[in-house]
Amino acid sequence: MSARTLEEHVNQLAAAGADADRDDVRSTVAELLSELESGRVRAASPDGDGWTVHPWVRVGILLGFRFADVVRVEAGGAFGFSDKHLFLPRHPASMPGARLVPGGSAVRRGAHIGQGVILMPPCYVNVGAFVDEGTMIDSHALVGSCAQIGRKVHLSAGAQVGGVLEPPVAAPVVVEDGVFVGALAALLEGVRVRHGAVIGAGVILTASTPVFDLPRKRVLRADARGVLEIPERAVVVAGSRPMADAWASEQGVRVSAAVIVKDRDQKTDARAALEEALR
Ligand SMILES: CC(C)(COP(=O)(O)OP(=O)(O)OC[C@H]1O[C@@H](n2cnc3c(N)ncnc32)[C@H](O)[C@@H]1OP(=O)(O)O)[C@@H](O)C(=O)NCCC(=O)NCCS
The mean pLDDT value for 87-113 works out to 96
Atom 36 of ligand 1: nearest residue by CA position: 200
Query: Can you give the pLDDT at residue 133?
Result: 98
CA distance 137 to 121: 9
Q: Pick the more confident residue, 211 or 170.
A: 211
CA distance 53 to 67: 24
Q: Is 261 in the pocket of ligand 1 (CB under 6 A)?
A: yes
Atom 37 of ligand 1: nearest residue by CA position: 200
Query: Can you give the pLDDT at residue 274?
Result: 76
Atom 39 of ligand 1: nearest residue by CA position: 200
pLDDT tens digits, 18-27: 999 999 999 9
Whether the CB-CB separation of 167 and 76 falls below 8 Å is answered with no
The pTM assigned to this predicted structure is: 0.96
pLDDT confidence bin for 33, thresholds 50/70/90:
very high
Query: Can you give the pLDDT at residue 278?
Result: 80
Residue 279 to residues 74, 99, 124, 152, 275, Cα–Cα distance (Å): 32, 9, 19, 10, 7
Listed in sequence order, the DSSP H helices in the chain are 3-16, 22-38, 55-67, 246-250, 266-272
CA dihedral sign of residues 40, 42, 47, 53: positive
Whether the CB-CB separation of 236 and 258 falls below 8 Å is answered with yes
